[in-house]
Structure 1
Amino acid sequence: MKMRLAVLVGMVGFMAPMLAGQTVQQTLQVSRDNKTISVTATDTAEALADTAEVSVGFVVYGASEDQTYADASRISNRVMKALEDSGVKSDQIQSGSQNLSPVDPNDKQRYGAGIRFVFRQSWQVKVQASSAAEVLHLAVTNGANESGGIAWSLAAEGSLEAQAAEKALAHAKQIAERMAAGLHVTLGPLVYASNQAGMRPGPVMMAMANAPRMLKEAKPEVKPLAISPGKVSRSATVYAVFALE
């Protein structure tokens, strides 16, 4: 005679991307023809970030288009030279945006002071997490007055996802063992396992808070900010089928 028992499993965190198209059956099935227990479980692994993507940029205003662009060019090249001189390679720097535009006439304060143009430029600088504070410091003290956002990540994302899947599988086995004990049967070996597709969380961000005011106060002799790497987490959902003895 066939028995069916629903198995509800707590979900932890976000789900990591695994094999798409898998159908998760949260059921326990026991019969003479199908002596198995099938369980779904989710678990999470986390580690301290080893990679940082630092947002670097600046804004400059001017009375004329030529003067604004010339000032922007000086700041832009000074920031890049400082980063390159510190050992940051060109392939670690990715340009984000660069824009020269007229100042909004509704900006009464600047417009009234004769300001007519504004230039903005930004980059993403990818370095080791331990270098994030120094990169930000170099950029700021060389004119990058719109900087500060940091996205933390891991260079080896796959290893953390594998750890999450391993923990989820162990979690599934623990559930199956408790179910088997309740049915007075012995749990056998794992006969099938798959991973459910899911959303992958993005990098952990450190927001830019009051950057323009803070950066205006920064001076070359000031020490780099005290910045600590964030933690990165990945979750996996596993569907496992165990034999019954």
Structure 2
Amino acid sequence: MRLSTKPFLLLAAFAATLPVFSQTIQVNKDNRTIAITATDEASAPADLAAVTVGFETFGADQAQTYADATRTSNAINDALKAAGVQPDQIESREQNLSPIDENDKLHFAKGLRFRFSQSWQVTVPAANAAATLHAAVLAGANNSGNIEWKLKSEDAVEGDAAAKALEHAHKMAERMAQGLGIKLGPLVYASNQAQARPVMMMSAMARGAAAPMPKALKPLAISPEKITRSATVYAVFSVE
């Protein structure tokens, strides 16, 4: 857990204006305060998973490549629906039919001239991520595996981070007041700023040519990641 504090004492004998995250607070000669800036973090397990599923296939000509692709595409879509995924949980990301570059000696040697690729992002409850990926791969999704972990609502974890930062600021202010031989009064002002939200990803599975797979396979063991958010609080306490 990362903690940072920037304490300073304002025993004002003059007027001043302090910028705080695009806000201001006026301090005048009658205002005796201790101001603290503190940063803290809070975490919660992800409850949503945005699973990337997709495939690529190769063919000797455009018509055959596209025909094979349509069969695989619809098989994957049907498998997702059979696994309980609703249509509004599936978003198309990419689909591309293109000729293979003649410098691709490996595919050219096999008589392959066209490549088709397609991918979707499937958003499901985090607990269903493994089963969703499993169903898609068994249906031919040979280029799948990225998972973006999310929270249905960021508010709770960001609120927890802000509360922890404010508590830390209060403890720091109390220690400062004790060191100065003065009594800490109540909180008179506070503001907080949530930090940037990183995207939590799980790396993709390796690409590979589609091949028959045993239907008795169990889904991969996948556990949701924890989502961490931080908040910075600026707090002003009166002193007596």
**Same fold at TM > 0.5:** yes
Contact 1:93–1:123 under 8 Å retained in 2: yes
Of 227, 235, 241, the match for 2:230: 235
1:207 matched to 2:207? The reply is: no
Structure 1 position 77, deviation (Å): 0.5
Higher alpha-carbon deviation: 71-80 or 31-40: 31-40
The runs of 5 or more residues in structure 2 that have no matched partner are 13-28
CA distance in 1, matches of 2:218, 2:211: 15
In structure 2, the residue corresponding to 1:118 is in which secondary structure?
A: strand
Say if 1:216 and 1:170 are closer, same or farther in 2 by CA, change over 3 A: farther
CA offsets, 1:177-211, max 9 Å, x none?
A: 11111111111111000113642222x11101424
Contact 2:158–2:194 under 8 Å retained in 1: no
Q: Which has the higher strand share?
A: 2
CA distance in 2, matches of 1:183, 1:190: 18
Structure 1 position 10, deviation (Å): 4.2
1:171 matched to 2:168? The reply is: yes
CA offsets, 1:61-114, max 9 Å, x none?
A: 000101101100000001001111221111111110000000111110111211
Q: TM-score, normalised by structure 2?
A: 0.88
Within a 5 Å distance, the mapping from 1:110-125 to structure 2 comes to: 110-125=107-122
One-letter amino acid of the structure 2 residue matched with residue 29 of structure 1: L
Structure 1 position 43, deviation (Å): 0.4
1:138 corresponds to: 135
Q: Displaced runs of 4+ in structure 1, greater than 6 A?
A: none
Structure 1 position 217, deviation (Å): 7.6
One-letter amino acid of the structure 2 residue matched with residue 30 of structure 1: L
1:244 corresponds to: 239
Of 219, 227, 236, the match for 2:214: 219
CA distance in 1, matches of 2:175, 2:95: 60
Contact 1:148–1:211 under 8 Å retained in 2: no
1:27 corresponds to: 8
Say if 1:217 and 1:162 are closer, same or farther in 2 by CA, change over 3 A: farther
Q: Which has the higher contact order (CA 8 A, sep 6+)?
A: 1
CA distance in 2, matches of 1:121, 1:165: 42
CA distance in 1, matches of 2:109, 2:162: 61
Say if 1:217 and 1:46 are closer, same or farther in 2 by CA, change over 3 A: farther
Percent identity at matched positions? Answer: 54
CA RMSD of aligned residues (A): 1.9
2:94 corresponds to: 97
Q: TM-score, normalised by structure 1?
A: 0.86
1:22 corresponds to: none
Contact 1:152–1:230 under 8 Å retained in 2: yes
1:148 matched to 2:151? The reply is: no
CA distance in 1, matches of 2:139, 2:3: 50
Structure 1 position 118, deviation (Å): 0.2
Say if 1:46 and 1:178 are closer, same or farther in 2 by CA, change over 3 A: same
2:36 corresponds to: 39
CA distance in 2, matches of 1:196, 1:128: 29
Higher alpha-carbon deviation: 55-64 or 83-92: 83-92
